[in-house]
Structure 1
Amino acid sequence: MSSSLAWLPRITTDLAGVEVAARSILEAIDSAGEAPVSIAVVGRSGSGKTALCSTIQAAAAAEATWETHTIDLLECSRDSAAYSNPLGHFIQTIEDRYQPVSHHNSIVVLEGWSDLRSEEAMAVETVLEHLPRGGCPVCLVPVISKEDAPAFVDGYVELGPLDDAQRLDFFSRCLPSCAARTAVDL
């Protein structure tokens, strides 16, 4: 598991605290240097996952030190569901939206993951691994069950309450270093 867990803050918040969470994430990313990082955003429907993505974009745009960073919010899963070949459309959408990013430091925010199946999860991992990178890709992924959890997640942000079973399932699968800890500890 990536050492990025050492610097990623644990943020438990609700919609009212989303700006604080966004700034904390930007600070953590900045402190990570050039290391690629993937972040999972966990939370129930309506907990503020999309709002967090939008707030991160706004917070980064307002900071002079982040003027060389680009944050792209990719909402591929909902678009792709209506196509006869949803996986093919999903991959094409990611490629089309990611490749034009030419900044030295780029951030990719992937939203809408809870709509995806395991095939799409594998496709995202493959696409992000093979696209040319100039900087750090960061994927904010709403994960609410083990089927939604991508293998490349390094850390997490928790928005709103998750029950103990969901939380422990996510950490035991995606964050092995946390697997022995209890839901209360997490």
Structure 2
Amino acid sequence: MPDSSRPHREPAFNAPWPALLLCVFILGLYGLQSMVSDEQLLFINFGLSPILLAQGHWASLITSLFLHGNWLHAGINAVMALAFAAPVARAFGLGFRGFLSFLSFYLVCGIAAGLGYCLIHMNQDVILVGASGAVSGLMGAAMRLRIEGLLLPILSRPVISASIVWIGINLFAGFYAIVQAM
């Protein structure tokens, strides 16, 4: 008979398997990428370039999500993915269908971010790599989820507040990069 007077202790690390798999995938693929002798060739062939996308290189909207600039870039994306993928994966369900829905959502977020990048940098030959856009989509979804897995309305105060903070951080980072480049 179990002792009901002892409190049930949750494990310190309780991420669902789809979130862990995504984290391992990001780091594992970068590990493989780092063994390639000519990373620049990988970026040119599989990174996202607005000019090449306009010429029909559509696959780069997906392939660019699985390349990273360095270990720090891959590590930050993996940690952020782990944090924000957990509630989103639970909301989709932890079975195989839920995993496929979660993966589809992740890819759609990454594709949407890549298209947005290409619209902003339409005539520039700058290559984008990384999962930051897809991870930001997971963050946005996680911000809308309540503890019980229901969605908060998009115009609710918590969602708007978190969105304003996230936009502010991105604007600051963008302006900081511009000032540093001067």
For normalisation by structure 1, the TM-score amounts to 0.24
Higher strand share: 1
TM-score of the aligned structures, taking structure 2 as reference length: 0.25
Larger radius of gyration: 2
Higher RCO (C-alpha under 8 Å, 6+ residues apart): 1
Q: Greater share of helix residues, 1 or 2?
A: 2
